[in-house]
Structure 1
Amino acid sequence: MNILIVSTYFSPNVNIASFRIDAFARYFSRAGHAVSVIALGPRDETVRRDGYTVHYLEDHFGNYSFRDPKEGLRGIAWSLSSTLQSRLMLDSRAMWRLRACAKARELLDREPVDVLLTTYGPLAPHMIALRLRKKGYKFHWVADMRDEMSDHPHHSLHIARRLRRVERIVLREADLVTTVSRPLVDQFRRLCGHDRFLEVRNGYDYEEVRDASFQPRFTLGYVGRFYWESRPDNLFEVLAEMKRRGEIPSDFRFRIVGNHLRLVVPEAIRDNVEQEAEVPHDEALAILRQLDVLVMIHPTGRRGVYTGKVFDYLASNKPILALFDPRDVVADLLAETRAGFVADKDDREGVRRKILECLRLWRDREVLPRDWEKIRQYRRKNQVGILLKHLEATLRRH
């Protein structure tokens, strides 16, 4: 197959969304398919990497993803430009998409593609696919939604209504819609009259850690940023109360690595909480081995959404403490793989009991009986393989 991917998320823009699209390109290519990528980049350039070609295009009107934080007024202007584009056109990359669409037409005029894969967040890649269809280009369009579109809880009602209209068009026109969970598939299905959906989860991309290790001091850790309502305030209060009661070692550690904003920590545990700067992904994976409990926090109300770190955590052989909705997908994942514990982040007594379970494992030098066969399903290669198998079968039929 000849495959073109259009995404604003791609290396060197390092985040969970980029890792997903990087994996599509990498494993499509390694399976023997010709792959090209049009991506947002810090400058205009075309490079070869890992067997495929990436056409990077700079966004002259809002390239804040790559700006130097010391850039001052220019960085502020970029951020304001992106915000304005979002308000007026629902798309923070609306100006970039003009250049990206022109590049896509140039590539398609040179050589047609069998598959066009576009990503959501922002809207630009999907809008490029719609534009190309309108211009008469032929391809099998995969619209990768990943998480919600109009149903994201942080959209205003006005923005959500406007976005819903575009969302219905994308769902109707795409030949296949991919997202990360069954609840999200069901959410999108309600907006259209077809069943052209495929669940393709995120995953991990390193060798599973099968050995056991324990820290001299009981050490919890959170690697990544705290988004929106996913705050550790209740967890801090639970830990402070447990320390006052003597239920947890007084010298326990809670390492928070990579959160951008300084958190306010209760005085009782201020000496226990260590807030560390962001590190590259490879270093973050190494830090997982220096922890006894891997903490995840997610607000209730966003059904079907995984945090990217859960899959890295899965392969680490450390117990996961997920402060999530116990009725949602992460709870099902941890039950399936036997990799950790779940408690609602607002249920302080429930959180306390799960911490005590993690503490017992540490004291007894025990590891959870993970189901490694199920965990290996979440290697990125295997998740991309689900999509590849579907595409190969579909294109053979046509």
Structure 2
Amino acid sequence: MDKKKVLIVTYYWPPAGGPGVQRWLKFVKYLPDFDIEPIVYTPENPNYPIQDDSLTSDVSDKLTVLKQPIKEPYKLAGLFSKKSSYTISKGIIPETKRQSLIERLMLYVRGNFFIPDARKAWVKPSVGFLLNYLKGNNIDTIITTGPPHSLHLIGLQLKEQLGLQWIADFRDPWTTIGYHKQLKLTQRSKQKHKELELKVLNTADRIIVTSSVTKKEFEGLTSQPIEVITNGYDVETVGETVLDAKFTLAHIGSLLSKRNPEVLWQVLSDLVIENKQFARGFQLNLVGYVSDNVLKEINKYGLIGYTNEVGYVSHSESVKYQKQSQVLLLIEIDSEDTKCIIPGKLFEYMVSDRPIIALGPKGSDVESILKETNTGAYFYYDAYGMLKTTILDHYKAYREGSLQPYPIGLKKYSRKALTESLSKLI
């Protein structure tokens, strides 16, 4: 029997780096195990702010990857300010009071002239190309994944013209995502975003989200079926790793300006001052982009001398850091809008066999998952006492050689198990 074919429309694909590429790279890897043949449609000349060539090893030689050119406004914007264009294209938006005139202008243009986002010009040519391809290749199911949410407009138009099955996958929310408020949107632009969001949610046959918080939000906007399929972990072969000799707390990934828990820096500062033995053995490893605001706060608390700013590394290198660190840090912005954010690295953290300390808003999906899997401790931004006690307990266990987590029920978060759930929807 021939495998069922499904077309996946995604902006992020190797050699793109960062978390956005991982989800569908892994789904595509495992779908053939469930008698589904994936076909990937992606831009030919994208403007990826981060690249990671190591991820290409997960792309099968047998996979059909269709590519069409895309016009990228960030490339044009780079002629005016390369640094600002690069920063904003990564989703890193400076605080309002620190924005330059060119940054304020770029944000206004991005928010009001490119709705839903800067990749909107790819919609029309993609629909024209895919209409012919779908008709000639016996494909009756398409999946679009956003952000960028403009890709859902490709699915919307193909659904309206061909009547095929369309599944819309939301890796992040649309109008309630944190940075939306920073785009200097006019009332008319806000309304346009909401109209497009509603149309997508009510036209797609099925909607996939990565968190139960997003599912609850979308249930207030549509009666279409919504499934939660989280991100997950894959079996990573990185060779033998040895635990750090020092008591390392490591954060893997971007630390944006608002992802800056003063309570954590205060606790670490006090421990360094109060405990000479702790001070001799402690190191804070920051693996990935770190905003100047975060570094200034760390410096304010006298921790720069204990901080190793590693910078961006490949995915395989980041896995090594996860496995060799004594404790892993997961930090989210303390905001109502971030309760639904489950960073992809959480699941890799969970199988790294290292304890996790997470900070974020009350009632988040991350808090629930950590509790359910017994993989770490979750704290709010005002939990000084409990956070200090936990770090001290971890330090004592490290000194005794007994620091380790005792996870339960992780198997359902494996990429293969999650792909099986996806295959049932297809």
TM-score range, shorter chain: 0.7 to 0.9
After superposition, the C-alpha distances for 1:355-381 in whole angstroms (9 at most, x for unaligned) are 123213212222445235x11211111
Are 1:187 and 2:222 an aligned pair?
Answer: no
Instruction: Tell me the equivalent position of 1:177.
Output: 207
Instruction: Tell me the equivalent position of 1:389.
Output: 424
Distance 1:248 1:221 in 2: 19
Amino acid corresponding to residue 316 of structure 2 in structure 1: D
Instruction: Tell me the equivalent position of 1:147.
Output: 172
Partner SS, residue 271 of structure 1 = helix
Distance 1:299 1:207 in 2: 28
Q: Tell me the matched-pair count.
A: 381
1:310 aligned to which of 341, 346, 354: 346
Q: Cα distance 1:388–1:247, how it changes in 2: closer, same or farther (>3 A)?
A: farther
Instruction: Tell me the equivalent position of 1:378.
Output: 413
Contact 2:255–2:289 (Cα < 8 Å) also in 1: yes
Contact 1:12–1:41 (Cα < 8 Å) also in 2: no
Identity %: 24
Are 1:241 and 2:277 an aligned pair?
Answer: no
Contact 2:241–2:323 (Cα < 8 Å) also in 1: no
Unaligned runs of 5+ in 2: 48-55, 90-104
Instruction: Tell me the equivalent position of 1:58.
Output: 69
Instruction: Tell me the equivalent position of 2:52.
Output: none
After superposition, the C-alpha distances for 1:49-95 in whole angstroms (9 at most, x for unaligned) are 3432112333233365xx9xxx7659577968897354222221011
Instruction: Tell me the equivalent position of 2:96.
Output: none
Amino acid corresponding to residue 93 of structure 1 in structure 2: R
Contact 2:271–2:279 (Cα < 8 Å) also in 1: no
Contact 1:182–1:199 (Cα < 8 Å) also in 2: yes
Contact 2:70–2:122 (Cα < 8 Å) also in 1: yes
Distance 1:212 1:286 in 2: 7
Q: Cα distance 1:214–1:326, how it changes in 2: closer, same or farther (>3 A)?
A: farther
Distance 2:289 2:277 in 1: 25
Contact 2:263–2:384 (Cα < 8 Å) also in 1: yes
1:150-169 alignment to 2 at 5 Å?
A: 150-156=175-181, 158=187, 159-169=189-199
Amino acid corresponding to residue 151 of structure 1 in structure 2: T
Distance 2:81 2:272 in 1: 47
Q: Which of 1 and 2 has higher RCO (CA within 8 Å, sep 6+)?
A: 2
After superposition, the C-alpha distances for 1:283-331 in whole angstroms (9 at most, x for unaligned) are 1101112210000111232222211110110010000000123532212
Partner SS, residue 8 of structure 2 = strand
Amino acid corresponding to residue 365 of structure 2 in structure 1: V
Are 1:203 and 2:237 an aligned pair?
Answer: no
Distance 2:134 2:353 in 1: 45
Are 1:362 and 2:365 an aligned pair?
Answer: no
2:251 aligned to which of 222, 225, 249: 222
Contact 1:243–1:249 (Cα < 8 Å) also in 2: yes
Q: Cα distance 1:245–1:226, how it changes in 2: closer, same or farther (>3 A)?
A: same
1:214 to partner: Cα distance: 4.1
1:271-290 alignment to 2 at 5 Å?
A: 271-290=305-324
Distance 1:118 1:138 in 2: 15
Q: Relative to total residues, which structure has the larger helix share, 1 or 2?
A: 2
Contact 1:29–1:52 (Cα < 8 Å) also in 2: no
Amino acid corresponding to residue 57 of structure 1 in structure 2: Q
Contact 1:2–1:34 (Cα < 8 Å) also in 2: yes
Partner SS, residue 325 of structure 1 = coil
Amino acid corresponding to residue 211 of structure 2 in structure 1: S
Contact 1:183–1:304 (Cα < 8 Å) also in 2: yes
Instruction: Tell me the equivalent position of 1:321.
Output: 357
Q: Cα distance 1:260–1:200, how it changes in 2: closer, same or farther (>3 A)?
A: same
Distance 2:205 2:250 in 1: 42
Distance 2:267 2:377 in 1: 16
Contact 2:261–2:359 (Cα < 8 Å) also in 1: no
Contact 2:12–2:20 (Cα < 8 Å) also in 1: yes
After superposition, the C-alpha distances for 1:135-181 in whole angstroms (9 at most, x for unaligned) are 2x132111001221112233237354432211111111111100012
Contact 2:284–2:306 (Cα < 8 Å) also in 1: yes
Partner SS, residue 178 of structure 2 = coil
1:205 to partner: Cα distance: 1.4
TM-score calculated relative to the size of structure 2: 0.81
TM-score calculated relative to the size of structure 1: 0.86
Contact 2:71–2:119 (Cα < 8 Å) also in 1: no
